[in-house]
Amino acid sequence: MTVALETVRDLIRTGNYPKASDALDTIERTNGKQADVLFLRGLIQEFNFEREPALKTYETVLESDPDHEEAAFRAALLCDQGGDDESAMDLYERCVARDRARLHAVMNLAVLYEENGQLRKAEACLRSVLDEYPTHARAWQFLKSVQSSFAMVYDERGQREREQRDAVLDMPVTDFELSVRSRNCLRQMGIRSLGDLVRTNELQLLTYKNFGETSLNEIKALLTQKGLRLGQAVQPAAPPPPPPAPPPPEDGNLHLHRPVSELELSVRSRKCLQRLGIATIGELVQRSAAELMSIKNFGQTSLTEIERQLTQVGLSLRKPHDPW
pLDDT band for position 198 (cuts 50, 70, 90):
confident
Q: Could you count the other beta carbons within 10 Å of the beta carbon of residue 248? A: 17
Each residue's pLDDT tens digit, 111-154 = 999 888 898 999 999 999 999 889 998 889 888 888 877 665 55
CA separation for the pair 179, 217 (Å, rounded): 12
* Residue 252, pLDDT above cutoff 60: no
CATH code for the domain defined by 156-225: 1.10.150.20
CB within 8 Å of 244: residues ≥ 6 apart: none
* Residue 271, pLDDT above cutoff 90: no
| Mean pLDDT of all residues in 218-229 | 86
Mean pLDDT score of the chain: 82
Domain boundaries, given as residue ranges, for the chain: 2-117, 156-225, 252-312
The answer to whether domain 2-117 and domain 252-312 are alike in fold is no
Phi, psi of 172 (to 5 degrees): -70, 145
Per-residue confidence (pLDDT) for residue 324, from 0 to 100: 46
CB within 8 Å of 25: residues ≥ 6 apart: none
* Residue 256, pLDDT above cutoff 90: no
- Contact between 265 and 287 under an 8 Å Cβ cutoff? The reply is no
CA separation for the pair 11, 313 (Å, rounded): 31
- Of 70-84, 144-158, 194-208, 251-265, least confident by mean pLDDT is 144-158
| Mean pLDDT of all residues in 253-280 | 79
Per-residue confidence (pLDDT) for residue 31, from 0 to 100: 63
CATH code for the domain defined by 252-312: 1.10.150.20
Q: Which fold has domain 2-117?
A: 1.25.40
Share of the chain above pLDDT 90, in %: 19
Per-residue confidence (pLDDT) for residue 268, from 0 to 100: 78
- Contact between 225 and 203 under an 8 Å Cβ cutoff? The reply is no
pLDDT band for position 59 (cuts 50, 70, 90):
very high
Q: Is the dihedral of CA 79, 81, 283, 146 positive or negative?
A: negative
> Which range in 162-171, 191-200, 233-242 is most confidently predicted, on average pLDDT?
191-200
* Residue 251, pLDDT above cutoff 70: no
- Of 12-16, 253-257, 304-308, least confident by mean pLDDT is 253-257
| Mean pLDDT of all residues in 237-262 | 62
- Per-residue DSSP letter, 288: B
CA separation for the pair 324, 320 (Å, rounded): 9
**Model-level pTM greater than 0.85?**
no
| Mean pLDDT of all residues in 270-285 | 83
CB within 8 Å of 89: residues ≥ 6 apart: 109, 112, 113, 116
Nearest to 108 by CA among 81, 131, 135: 81
Element holding 206 (H helix, E strand): helix 202-206
Per-residue confidence (pLDDT) for residue 112, from 0 to 100: 92
